[in-house]
Structure formats: structure tokens, C-alpha cells
Amino acid sequence: MSKLTYAILLAAIYAPSVYATEKEVVRPKVYTDIVACRPITDAAARLQCFDTATQALEIATANKQVVMLDQGEVRKTKKSLFGFALPNIPFFGESAEDQANEFKEIEGALANVQTLPYSMYQFTAANAGTWQTTEGTSAFLKNGKKFKIKRAALGSYILVLDNKGIRVKRVS
């Protein structure tokens, strides 16, 4: 058997286990303790269980052992991370595919435009960090000019100005 056949066979064997572990979500103990109170049938015992569990949650939150975010805060955080090469972050509560498809582009107005050597530029995008062009351009970038930054092939990004694309990278 060739090496390629072995590789395909191994991938087929291990692929189902990889997908199974990806979907399994491990919850914090303070969460599972609250959920464990629900099946208790005696009302007084269930109330005591909930009181104890919610107090533990409150303490864990105050000590920053547990952090709670609503969906709006998660989306705002994801948008602010656009352009960074990050691993799939499980606390966003989505599959890797959903995370990859969430933000494919951002729009805004250029700010803090600086000219760099070799006809390149650096600029700031509101709520999306500082970017640099990675190739010289004849386009004139100026503050206030409307733009789009889109995901491109192989983890790169394209700045679109006046229907012209310029490769860019996020620097901060």
C-alpha cells in the first residue's frame, strides 16, 4: 500500500472522533451545579440548591473565574478581532465554520492615514485596528475616504477603494 493510501485510511478512521470531540462542550462547574438543581422534586430542597449554586456563580463572576457575555458583546469582540490570525475560539459558542463565515468584510472611513516608503500606507479603521498596505499603490488614501476590507485567499485581506483592490494586513 502506498503512503497516500495509508494517509487517507488514517484520516477516515480518525475523522469521526475529531468531529465528535469538537461538538462536546465542557461547561464550568458553577453552571452544571445550577442545572443539577432542576430535577430536585422537593421545593424546599430545590430552592436551597438554587440558592447555593447561584451564590457560587456570583462569587465566581466577582472573582473573574467565570465571565458572562451577551451576544452583542461577542459580536463586537469578533468585529474588533477582524484581520488577526487567531485560532478557533470555543467561547464564542459556534462551530469553526460559523466563526470563519461570521465577518467576511468590514466597512468604514479611513482615519490616521500615514504614508510609508515605497508607495505604501498605514491607516486606522474604526473599531477594527491599524492596517498597512502590503504592496505599493498609485491610489491616494486620505482621511475620511470610504473603504471595505474583505477576506481574500490564503488568509490575506483586500482593501477596496473606488472599486480597486489593494492587499493589506492588520498590524494592531
| Largest interatomic CA distance in the chain | 75
Mean per-residue pLDDT for 61-78?
78
CB 103 within 8 A of CB 96: no
Phi and psi, residue 7, nearest 5°? -60, -40
Tell whether the model's pLDDT for residue 93 goes beyond 60.
Answer: no
What pTM value is reported for the model? Answer: 0.52
Total number of residues shown for the chain: 172
Q: Provide the pLDDT confidence category of residue 42 given band limits of 50, 70 and 90.
A: very high
The continuous run of DSSP H or E covering 148 comes out as strand 146-151
Q: Which three cell numbers stand for residue 51?
A: 440558592
pLDDT, residue 4, reads: 46
Tell whether the model's pLDDT for residue 68 goes beyond 60.
Answer: yes
User: Residue 58, Cα to own-chain centre: how many angstroms?
Assistant: 27
Mean per-residue pLDDT for 123-150?
84
Phi and psi, residue 31, nearest 5°? -70, -50
Mean pLDDT over all residues of the chain? 76
pLDDT, residue 41, reads: 92
Between 2 and 60, the higher pLDDT residue: 60
Residues near 159 by beta carbon (within 8 Å), at least 6 away in sequence: 131, 133, 147, 148, 149, 165, 166, 167, 168
